[in-house]
């Protein structure tokens, strides 16, 4: 039991999910939500409230743009993408408290959470395969 408890407690200390991030945003929790994908991916769409720092730019930009005392949540495309983990490593190297949002942008969108691009708010989609959709 101790092994399972340690494993799952450690896992939750370093990851979160889309619905928890959205709830934290609405609760006014202090953190920076960072999209670590490419500029093209960001331009296609991103969660409302996110900022864009591609994972390759974190070491240079984060110290200038995000106070070290501010927690960070990173994400990439989907569960099939490891850029979020790469971004989390970069933030951790710099000394930030960081979590990765599992599911990435894909699950943010599939759960119908608000997205936008440079042209404005994007249509919300609710996927019954990943969440309960109220009639």
pLDDT tens across 55-107, in order?
999 999 999 999 999 999 999 999 999 999 999 999 999 999 999 999 999 99
Whole-prediction pTM value? 0.94
Q: 53 with 61: CB under 8 angstroms?
A: yes
Q: What is the pLDDT of residues 43-53, one digit of tens each?
A: 999 999 999 99
């Amino acid at each position: 039991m101790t092994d399972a408890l340690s494993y799952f407690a450690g896992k939750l200390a370093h990851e979160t999910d889309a619905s928890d991030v959205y709830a934290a945003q609405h609760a006014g929790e202090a953190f920076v939500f960072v999209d670590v994908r490419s500029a093209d991916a960001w331009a296609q769409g991103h969660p409302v409230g996110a900022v864009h720092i591609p994972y390759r730019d974190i070491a240079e930009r984060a110290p200038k743009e995000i106070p070290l005392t501010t927690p960070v949540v990173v994400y990439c495309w989907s569960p099939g993408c490891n850029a979020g983990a790469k971004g989390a490593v970069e933030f951790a190297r710099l000394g930030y408290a960081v979590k990765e949002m599992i599911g990435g942008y894909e699950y943010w969108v599939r759960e119908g959470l608000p997205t936008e691009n440079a042209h404005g708010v994007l249509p919300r989609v609710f996927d019954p395969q990943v969440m309960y959709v109220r009639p």
